[in-house]
Chain A
C-alpha cells in the first residue's frame, strides 16, 4: 500500500504526548509551525488547564541557514514566560534532515524525533531518554525487594478519563499498601524511580524498563489496561508475583456488590456485537473485559498503535489500518457499541471515546477499578439507545 489514511501520528507526536505529562516541563518542538499546531491542537482540546507546548517557528531562512538561531530565540522567550519550568526540545523532520546541531543549546533535554517512525516508537524513545535522569540520580544502592513502591510507566494520561483512571489504580494499590510513582509525572520525581521494587509498564516504556532492570536491578512487568473485575484481579496478581502483598478481592467485591442493583440487566449484554479501536495495550485489556466478563462479542478491532511487546486482543478480526478497518466495517452492519477515538465518532456519534485522541468527550470518572461500573453504565446506555429511541 503506497497511499493510505494514516492510523497514527508520527514519532514526534508520541514523544510529545509523553513529554507533556511532565508537569515541571515545557515542551518545545523544533520545527515549522505546523509540527506544533497538530500536537498542540490535540493537547489543548483534551485538557484545558494550560498549554505547555511551544515551537521554534522555523521558516525558509532556517532551512537555508540552519534553525538554531530561531531555536535560541524561542527558548529565551519560553524561559521568560514559563518561569521555573524545565525545557525539553523535541526536533521534527526538518532539523534532522538539514542537520541542526543542538550541542550548545541550553535546555534540560533534547530529543531528536525526526525519524520516520510511528507514534508508539516516539513514546518508547522519549521514555527511554528519561532513563538518563533516573540512572544519573542514583547514588546509592537500594534493596529493591524491601520497598513497597512501584513505578507505573507509560500510562496514557491524555485521553478522556486518563487522569481519573490513574488515580483509581493508585487508590487500589494503596489498599494493598503499595505506593506508586508515575513515569512520566515530573522530571524531579524521576530521582525516586530507583527506589521502586517493580516497574509496571502499560505497553510503552519497555526499553526504559529493560535499562532499569539492567542498570538498577529493578524487574519489570508489561501489562495492558486492566479493565473490569477480572482485569483488576490479574493486575494485582501480576504485581504480587514481585511484591509481597496479601491478595484480597475487596475492591472487586465492591464492584460486584454495587452491580447487584442491575444484575438482571446483564444478560442484555450477551453476544452484543461490538467494535473497538485504540492502542494495542488498551484494546487488549478492553476486549478481554467485554468478552470474558460482559459476554459481548468483539467482532472487529483496530490497533491504532502497535507496541514493543505482543498483546492478545480477544476478537473475531484484528486489523492494523483504517483502510482495512473501513473495509471490514462494511461487512459488520450490526455493530451495536463502538469504542474508540474521536475519529470513530464521525462514524458513530455515540462511540465511547476512550483511546487517543478523545477530546470529543468530557469525563470526570474512571473506567478502571470502581470505574468499571461507569463503563458498564455507558455501554448499557448505548444498547438501550438502540432499542428505546423512536
Chain B
C-alpha cells in the first residue's frame, strides 16, 4: 500500500487584515477562522467548495475541540453569569473583562474555549486576558470600590484597551459595592471606555422558563399567530445583562442614517455555524434592497456600538430589553425574533427581508431583490435535485421552533424524507417536562405527516432508530449535540449518515439562502463519497441508547445533575 502525503497548499492573501488560513489537502479543506473583510468571506468559501471536490468542511480543529470541551463540561454542570458576561465583553474588539471579585472567579474562565463570535467575527483565536480585582477579606469588610477603581486605572495603563468591561461577581453584589458609581468616578482618569455589568452567579434567570419554550412552540404550531408569543424569557442571564449594559452605557445620540439597520447576531457557543457567512449575506442582500447595515452587534468595535443610534431600525435576536431601551431613548423601531421563530426556513428568510423593507418603505425593491436571490438558489439546486431524485432519506430531529421549516427546507432541496425520528431527550435533559415534550413530538409528527412524511417515530433508542433506517440511502442527523457520535454509530453499522451542521455548515437558525444551497451540495457530496469501514474504539465503552452517547458507567452522574437542575429552578 502506498501512503500518499497530502498535498497541502496554504491560500494566503497578504492584503487581508491578518491570516486567511484555508488549508487544502488532496482530500479535505479546512477553512479556519480568519479576519479578512466580510465581502471576501463568501467568495473564499465558494472557491473552496469548487476546488475541494466535495470534501469540504467549515469546521476547523479549534471549533471541534472547543465544542467537545463544552459538551463534556455541561453534562454535569452549568456556568454562572460571569461566563456569559465575559463572552459578551470578549465579542467586542479590543475589550478586556475585569472581574470584580475574588481571584478564583477569574481563574477558570481563562481555560474556557474562546467565544465563537470572537473567533469568527473578530478573527481572534484566543480569549482576551481576564483580569481580576482579587478581593479578599478586608474588601468584604470595608468595601471593594477603591480596589476596583485602582484596578481599572492600572488595567487601562497596562493593556490600553478600547473597552474595560467590569463584571461584578457574587461577593460585591452581596456586600453592596456600587459599580456604576465607581466607573463614573474613574471615567476621567482612563482612556478606555468603561461599562459595568452586574453578574452575581446566584441571580440567574436562565433557570426559570425552560419549560415555557416547549409550550410556546407547541402553541405556535397549533396557531401561526402565536409565534409572536415565543420569547424564551432569558433576559437576566450574564450574556444578555452584559449586552444590555453595553448598549445602555456606550451608545450615544448621533445623526441618523437613512434606510439603515443594526443587526444583532448570536452564537457564543455555535462553533459549527458559519456566523460570518450569515452576516455577510444579510448585508449583501440588504444593500441590494437599498438598506445599509449600520452596526453588526456584537462582533464589532466600541465605535460601532456608539453609532448604533444612527440606525432607523434594530433587528434583535437576543436582548429585547436592549431593543426597548434604544426605542425609548433614541426612537429606534425594532424587530425581535428569538430562536429564529419568524425567520426560519425559506418563507422565514423572505419574511425577514420583507419585514425590514416594509419598516423602511422599500417593499418593492425587496420583492425584486428576493426574486433574483431565489431564482439564483433554484438554479444552484437543479443539479442537486437531479442527483437526489431517486434517493430516500431518514431524518433525526429534536422538536424545536424551527423544526417544521427545517423539514420544508430539506424537501425544497429535493430530500425525499421517508422516515422521521423525533427525539426529545435533549429537551428533557435541560428540564422540559416529559408530557410537554411528548405533546410537542406528537404535534411535530402530525405536521410531518402533512408534509408527506408517512413514517414518523418518537423517542426510539438509537439502535432501533438505525435498524429502522436500514432501507434509506442517507440518514440526516440533526440532534443539536453529539451529531458526530451519531453519524459515526450509523456508519459503523453500515448506514451512511450526514450531519448538516458538522458536515454541511448548515444551521436552520441562520437566515441564509446560500447555506441552503451549500447544504444541498454537501448532501450530494456525502452520498457520493466512500464510506470507510469503522469499528470505533469509542463504542467499545457501553453507551446508553436513549441518552446517546452518554456512557453507561457515568450515566448516574448525568442523571444526578439533571435532577439537581430541578433544585436550581426551585
A33 touches B80 (CB 8 A): yes
Residues 290-316 of B at the A interface (beta carbon under 8 Å): none
Max chain B CB contacts within 10 Å: which of A37, A70, A78? Answer: A37
User: Known contacts A33-B78, A342-B111; is A5 also within 8 Å of B557 by CB?
Assistant: no
- In the assembled complex, the CB of B498 is this many whole angstroms from the nearest CB of chain A, namely 27
User: Known contacts A3-B98, A3-B155, A33-B77; is A42 also within 8 Å of B108 by CB?
Assistant: yes
Q: Within 8 Å CB of A1, what residues of B? A: 154
Residues 1-36 of A at the B interface (beta carbon under 8 Å): 1-6, 8-13, 31-36
- Stretch from B34-42, B376-384, B506-514, B559-567 forming part of the interface with A: B559-567
Q: Does B530 contact A (CB under 8 A)?
A: no
B106 touches A34 (CB 8 A): no
Size category of the B interface is 35 or more
Q: Does B76 contact A (CB under 8 A)?
A: yes
Q: Within 8 Å CB of A357, what residues of B? A: 111
B202 touches A9 (CB 8 A): no
A58 touches B202 (CB 8 A): yes
Interface string of B72-93 (1 = CB under 8 A from A): 1101111111110000000000
B76 touches A44 (CB 8 A): yes
Residue in A closest to B81 when the chains form the complex, CB atoms: A34
Q: Does A55 contact B (CB under 8 A)?
A: yes
Q: Does B556 contact A (CB under 8 A)?
A: yes
User: Known contacts A37-B78, A44-B73, A44-B75; is A81 also within 8 Å of B560 by CB?
Assistant: yes
Max chain B CB contacts within 10 Å: which of A56, A63, A81, A357? Answer: A81
Q: How many chain A residues touch the partner (CB < 8 A)?
A: 64
Q: Does A50 contact B (CB under 8 A)?
A: yes
Residues 202-256 of A at the B interface (beta carbon under 8 Å): none
User: Known contacts A38-B108, A51-B557, A52-B557; is A33 also within 8 Å of B79 by CB?
Assistant: yes
- In the assembled complex, the CB of B534 is this many whole angstroms from the nearest CB of chain A, namely 21
Interface residue from B77, B110, B563, B570 paired with A59 (Cβ < 8 Å): B570
* Alpha-carbon separation in the docked complex, A343 to B111 (Å): 7
- Stretch from B16-24, B134-142, B389-397, B460-468 forming part of the interface with A: B134-142
Residues 251-265 of B at the A interface (beta carbon under 8 Å): none
Q: Within 8 Å CB of A38, what residues of B? A: 104, 107-109
- In the assembled complex, the CB of A62 is this many whole angstroms from the nearest CB of chain B, namely 7
Interface residue from B98, B110, B133, B201 paired with A34 (Cβ < 8 Å): B201
Across the A-B interface, give the 8 residue pairs with the lowest CB-CB distance, nearest first. Answer: A10-B104, A34-B80, A38-B108, A3-B151, A81-B560, A32-B201, A57-B568, A2-B150
19 of the cross-chain contacts (CB-CB < 8 Å) are A2-B133, A2-B147, A2-B151, A4-B131, A6-B103, A37-B78, A38-B108, A52-B557, A54-B564, A56-B567, A57-B567, A59-B203, A73-B567, A78-B560, A80-B563, A93-B170, A94-B170, A116-B136, A323-B158
Using CB atoms and an 8 Å cutoff, list the residues of chain B in contact with chain A: 69, 72-73, 75-83, 98, 102-112, 126, 129-137, 140, 147, 150-152, 154-155, 158, 170-171, 174-175, 200-204, 207, 553-554, 556-557, 559-561, 563-565, 567-568, 570
